[in-house]
A = this chain, B = another copy of it.
Amino acid sequence: MTYCLAIRVDDGLVFASDSRTHAGVDYASVYSKMHRFELHNDRHIVLLGAGSLASTQAVVNFIRRDLENPGALCSLNSVSYLFDAATYVGEVSVRVQEQHWPSMQRSGFSAEASFILGGQIQGQPHEIYLIYPQGNYITASVETPYLQIGETKYGKPILDRMAAPGTSLEDAARCALVSLDSTMRSNISVGPPLEIEIYRQDSFATSHYLSLDTSSPFYSALKSQWSEGIRNAFSMLPRFDWE
């Protein structure tokens, strides 16, 4: 399994992902699911991938090949709008999945992959897109300023409570980390290290990037502070009539 998310706030974007993959419970590995690209100075794009590792790796390989090939019909450097980039990644993804679909289906496996693509192209707003396995996509809204792929449920309540357009980038990053932490506690197929990238709008470059293992001081402090905070919140809940 996998859990990746992106939050869009007024000041910019936050991307976060776990790093655990597995082929059955008896073969778990560590792979980064956050893909960052060397692009022209007028753009910054990050891609998070979930689903079949073979599919997500192939998609990233095709994207990188198109970037290096001046004759490519389309690439992350040639698109003019971020939704063009989403269309392009969706098309690459569908092509990759179709290539292996018959053999995967015979073996009872799924070649499906889904992605979150986010970033900014100069002159346009910063945006995030969720690209479905079918190649179509949605963006976030003011009311729901985040997108998730993979194991989305355990970490959703904190996003619904805390993620809003006015949230600072750092608070959005903390929110993403709490969301990942809640998911890791409940689903062992989501695991560290946690990667987090913060993108400040109009910077066209990574503002901050962190890879946090469970032993990293910041993540340890965040985990224990959050546990204590939840316990405090719980202790303040109203008493029943008979107490």
Contacts and interface: CB of A to CB of B under 8 A. Distances in A.
A38 interface: no
A233 interface: yes
Interface residues of A, number: 39
Nearest to A219: B238
From A226, A228, A229, A237, residue with most partner B Cβ within 10 Å: A237
A173 B240 contact: yes
Majority secondary structure of chain A interface residues (helix, strand, loop or mixed):
helix
Given A218-B240, A236-B229, A185 B162 contact: no
22 contacts: A153-B153, A154-B154, A154-B156, A157-B182, A161-B227, A161-B230, A162-B230, A162-B231, A170-B240, A170-B243, A178-B234, A178-B237, A218-B238, A218-B240, A221-B238, A225-B237, A226-B233, A229-B232, A229-B234, A230-B230, A230-B233, A232-B233
Interface of A: 153-154, 156-158, 160-162, 170-171, 173-175, 178, 182, 185-186, 208, 218, 221-222, 225-234, 236-243
